[in-house]
Structure 1
Amino acid sequence: MLTGSSARPDEINTYMGQERALRAGRLGTAGLLLSVLAATAPLMVVAGLMPTTYAVMGITAQPLLFVILGAVMALFGVGYAEMSRHVHNAGAFYAYIARGLGGTVGAGASYVALAAYNALQVGVYGLLGFEASLLLDEHLFLQVDWWLVALLGIAVTGVLGALKVDLNAKVLGSLLLVEVVLVVVLDLAFAADPGPQGLSLASFDPAALTGAGLGTALCFTVAAFLGFEQAPVYAEETHRPQTVVRRVMFLAVGSVAVFFALTSWLMSVATGPDHIVGAAREQSAGLLFGLSEPRLGGAFTDALHILFLTGIFACMLAFHNVVARYAFAMGREGLLPAAVGRASKGTGAPATGSLLQTGVALVVVLAFALFDGGGHGDPTTPVLRLFTWMGNVGALGVIALMATTSVAVIVFFVRRGAAATQGVRLACSGLAAIGLTVIFGYAVADFDVLLGADPSSALRWVLPGLILAAALVGVAVGLYLRSARPARYARIGLGNEAFRLEEAAQEDPSPVPAAGKTASGCADEPENERPNQS
């Protein structure tokens, strides 16, 4: 049954009806912030990404990279946050792009977002399976294949993803807080017992950034920030989304930049800035644990290994929730089957979207397991292939979405005659678009380095091609809907406004152009004439 003008102003509606909507008011500032930061996986970044960047790139000024990227992300966040005040949609990236650049481009972006976040989420199962199998072997003398652990992770994540979002926030928040406490303890230990050069600030010297690996190092480091951009995905489920979403995004960007810059610096302090690259190349992902044990003992290091696993799980659940909500938004707006766009009556969660993501994860993990020629404890398939390949494909897709969204934000406000009043924000979006496009270019050009593959390997083009293929499929869907299903096309990017178009179509079955859109699909009416989105 459709919900009409009799709906209460505080209700969230979809064209499927109030009973099939995401539940509003489930998340406050703290819950949303913890859900978003969980996706940044602090221990995974500190134990995995930081040593890898030091080792592969050979750049000692990694802490400065976090500061630079923090500035780029903050510039992006200025326009992105302002857009979140005007558009409340679980489709976030693609909804903003559709409202600025038109429904067809938005449809392309929706499939890129679905592919990118699925890749990020599924890739983490490889790391989970590998690390868990090693711990089971070391402590319980059980030899378990990585993919069996991964399948268990898929099942648990799928169940939690179908439950209430506030329950998920509590799980994610608890795991995140434990991770942060452990990293802070490590930071204090490194500061109290520095390497031969003491508390040197050499890692913040801009001269140490020079070198051919700078662009690729930026690509490595940008993965540490992935998560803060997810805040608008939960806009429909938060208290006062106009305020909370923007606040959470800036809190997330600021805390990630400061936290990781400080930890990266203290890691170099622990070895000495002149020795950090060599130590990372020698110990690889074991660097953090090798630095921890002589300072904090074996028991703490063992706990660190175990909490590393829980951090990986928190990251998986956070990305799973995002994928489920993107799928929900796409189903609601006609880009996926309508059944995907219905929330559970009992929990208000996008249960069908959660089930869809679980199915994708199951297929991909089983495919990698089928072609796993390595033995027990061999990281080739779960880490060097599943985790590395999927992680880099996902990160590339998100960078592309961020750059495109920055352009869409500018167009959105310029078309509404708000260029003067939004001048500073639009300038920030323009600078962010340039910076993110440069990083995207480096990522594509040096994709073989990101994969650790031979420059002649076909993977350096095939894997980035997955993002292009997703975009082309989405554009094709958008063009089809525009010509054959104009009523569905009209929903793209409108989120909870879509039910109004459905009602209008029932009242007047004659074909009409998409409400408030030009022939190109871009909305052009004043913002204050848009239907209420809260």
Structure 2
Amino acid sequence: MSSPPDTVSTVLARGRLGTWTVVFFVIAAAAPLTVVAGGATTGYAVTGVLGIPVSYLAVASVLAVFAVGYVAMSRRIVNAGAFYTYVTKGFGRPAGVGAAFVAVVGYNAMQIGLYGGFGAVLAGFLGDRGIDVPWWLCAYAAWAIIAVLGVLRIDLNGKVLSAMLVGEVVVALVYDAVMLTHPADGRVTFDTLSPSHIFAAGIGAALVTAITGFVGFENTVVFSEETKDPKRTVARATYIAVAITGLLYGASAWAMSVATGPDKIVEAASKDSTDLMFNLVGPYIGAELVTVGRLLFITSLFAALLSFHHTEARYLFALGRERVLPAVLGRTSRRTGAPKVGSIIQTVLAAVVLAGYTITDADPIVHLFFWVTVTGGLGVLILMTVTSASVVAFFIRNRTDDGIWRTRIAPALAALALASILYVTIEQFDTLLGVEPASPMRWWFPASYGIAAAAGLVWALVLRAIRPEVYRSIGLGAESAKTPLRAPEPVRQPA
């Protein structure tokens, strides 16, 4: 039996993050320019669905409702485990561990999939300037830098991300203005913003593409232990992140359809791929500004890689601190306060996956960037659906003065809306992947989460049988490290 980690090394660095630093972290994870130039265009091309812009706005509306209950929980529970902890408090420890395993798989998929986009885009940028390098070499260059940054102080990383993010947003807005002032056929159209697209064929693929663009906003809670005022910071950062990303994504995806014409956006996206936005604005602005945009697209991908690396490391930290996984994962660096072991494991895993894609010569954009990141988005969609329902369950048992809207109505509405999106997403996953309906691949990716959830459930039951003291500490967060055998639970939760 492994010994419990010591108290000093199992507490994340306190008070280093303010509201806007957290906002920069989570929007950097969402990677605005990556979503606009990469996710939206690839979504148009692969799915053939015109409703990408309205999908972003619809998803933003649903996530705003989801955030109501999510934020209410954050005021009661401060834990880097986020979804894992909330599901534990609502539905019990076995369900919580199952959710944790889904989170580990989903955020791994998001982070590692982004290496494909980064490697391919950087290789293309260098190739245009006469420097011929393979995509995998560019990906491994980013991997090496992130391996170092992943074990440094979290506030230092926040400064790096904030500088990149401001540049991204400014360039995206400038490009949007250029595209909207130079519409195809001289006429601004709103066809791709029509609500009718929400009920069109293939909308599940469009919705999960949109969900993927928002993945990261929920990580305000992951950084809660490191904020100066968790109860206020998390709420503010969550709402700000949803508002900024939702409006920017919807506007940018729509602007591209205006510049090409709604009837030509899918064809243009299929032809130009991630170069589409830059090709559309190129004739109207200086070459220098196009180059700046391309560079910021590359740094956007890097920022997302770094942010998701931190998220994954903190999930592993939360599980290690409670000894659900090996206790060594629950140790932080005494010098930087970073969860170093989880960071190193994430680095090693990414290196192995990249090697596999390199050896098999798979397409880094379609097979790694798009397929794997949208699968990560599916995992987060599953977690948000279950978490919304768990919020209702939690507040039914734990009466508060937060009001019925925050504790019952909003989370219940979010659960229903997210469950509906989840259903059509899985039903239309073949459209999302661009494969035949009979292809077994349409089930392989969703099935990975069923396997992960089942493994977590079984492991929780094993812990209950053979290590009851560990089982009792599930969901306690930092309290489990301080008094792992007798820690009183701050709120009532199911067995």
Q: Which of 142, 148, 151 is the aligned partner of 1:153?
A: 142
Partner of 2:265: 276
Partner of 2:119: 129
Whether 1:198 aligns to 2:187 is yes
Whether 1:403 aligns to 2:365 is no
SS of the counterpart of 2:223? helix
Give the AA of the match of 1:234. Answer: F
Q: Distance in 2 between matches of 1:131 and 1:266?
A: 22
| Structure 2: gaps spanning 5 or more residues | none
Task: Give the number of the structure whose alpha-carbon radius of gyration is greater.
Answer: 1
Whether 1:260 aligns to 2:249 is yes
Partner of 2:414: 432
CA contact (8 A) 1:490 1:515 kept: no
SS of the counterpart of 1:39? helix
Pairwise mapping of residues 190-339 of structure 1 onto structure 2 (< 5 A)? 190-339=179-328
Q: Distance in 2 between matches of 1:463 and 1:427?
A: 32
Deviations 1:52-101 (A, max 9, x none): 33334444443322221111001111100110111111100001100111
Q: Distance in 2 between matches of 1:430 and 1:176?
A: 33
Number of residue pairs the alignment of both structures matches: 492
SS of the counterpart of 1:233? coil
Partner of 2:70: 80
Change (3 A) 1:61 1:464: closer
Change (3 A) 1:20 1:59: closer
Q: Distance in 1 between matches of 2:54 and 2:431?
A: 21
Give the AA of the match of 2:27. Answer: L
Partner of 1:522: 494
CA contact (8 A) 1:59 1:209 kept: no
Q: Which of 82, 87, 94 is the aligned partner of 2:84?
A: 94
Q: TM-score, normalised by structure 2?
A: 0.94
Whether 1:32 aligns to 2:22 is yes
Q: Distance in 1 between matches of 2:285 and 2:411?
A: 44
CA contact (8 A) 1:15 1:498 kept: no
Deviations 1:105-126 (A, max 9, x none): 1111111111110111011111
Q: Which of 446, 459, 463 is the aligned partner of 2:428?
A: 446
Identity across matched positions, percent: 40
Q: Which of 70, 80, 83 is the aligned partner of 2:60?
A: 70
Q: Distance in 2 between matches of 1:454 and 1:208?
A: 22
CA contact (8 A) 2:47 2:431 kept: no
Deviations 1:117-153 (A, max 9, x none): 01110111111111222222221x3332222222221
Q: Distance in 2 between matches of 1:167 and 1:258?
A: 28
Q: Which of 167, 170, 175 is the aligned partner of 1:181?
A: 170
1:461 CA drift (Å): 1.6
Q: Which of 40, 47, 59 is the aligned partner of 1:50?
A: 40
Q: Distance in 2 between matches of 1:137 and 1:424?
A: 52
For the aligned residue pairs, the C-alpha RMSD in angstroms reads 2.1
Pairwise mapping of residues 386-401 of structure 1 onto structure 2 (< 5 A)? 386-401=368-383
Give the AA of the match of 2:166. Answer: L
1:211 CA drift (Å): 2.2
Partner of 1:497: 479
1:503 CA drift (Å): 5.8
SS of the counterpart of 2:221? helix
Give the AA of the match of 1:382. Answer: P
Give the AA of the match of 2:39. Answer: L
Q: Distance in 2 between matches of 1:256 and 1:517?
A: 34
Change (3 A) 1:350 1:200: same
CA contact (8 A) 2:7 2:482 kept: no
Pairwise mapping of residues 364-379 of structure 1 onto structure 2 (< 5 A)? 364-372=353-361
1:208 CA drift (Å): 4.6
Partner of 2:403: 421
Q: Distance in 2 between matches of 1:22 and 1:516?
A: 19
> Could you tell which deviates more after superposition, 108-117 or 285-294?
285-294
Q: TM-score, normalised by structure 1?
A: 0.88
Q: Distance in 2 between matches of 1:106 and 1:138?
A: 48
Deviations 1:358-405 (A, max 9, x none): 111111111222222xxxxxxx43222222332122111111100000
Change (3 A) 1:497 1:135: same
Q: Distance in 1 between matches of 2:458 and 2:148?
A: 33
CA contact (8 A) 2:10 2:478 kept: no
Partner of 1:532: none
1:347 CA drift (Å): 0.4
Change (3 A) 1:425 1:160: same
Q: Distance in 1 between matches of 2:402 and 2:343?
A: 42
Pairwise mapping of residues 473-512 of structure 1 onto structure 2 (< 5 A)? 473-502=455-484, 504=486
